[in-house]
Amino acid sequence: MKKNMGSADKIIRIIIAAVVAVLYFTGTISGTLGIVLLVLAGIFVLTSLVSFCPLYAPFGIKTCSLKKK
């Protein structure tokens, strides 16, 4: 897999995942919506760790910086 996520994109995803986790574990969001958002937060963390977003690939989106040769 080629990397297609830049550092700003990764940081934003980690922050969103952390906020969702805090809201879920404090009971602010609960039920089905809470579980769906928690799963989405897990996917955000996973894609941030591997620097690859599968939804970016079909559209050719790359937020990582281009390396100069």
Q: Quick check: is 2 in a domain?
A: no
**Tens of pLDDT along 14-27?**
999 999 999 999 99
Q: Could you say which DSSP state residue 68 is in?
A: P
35 part of a folded domain? yes
Whether the Cβ atoms of residue 4 and residue 32 lie closer than 8 Å to each other = no
Task: Tell whether 68 is covered by a domain.
Answer: no
Residues in Cβ contact with 63 at an 8 Å cutoff, skipping those fewer than 6 apart: 4, 5, 6, 8, 9, 56
The range of the structural domain enclosing residue 31 comes to: 7-55
**Number of compact structural domains in the chain:** 1
**pLDDT tens-digit map of 31-64:** 999 999 999 999 999 999 999 999 988 888 888 8
Q: Does the residue 49 lie in any domain?
A: yes
What predicted TM-score, i.e. pTM, was given to this entire model? Answer: 0.85
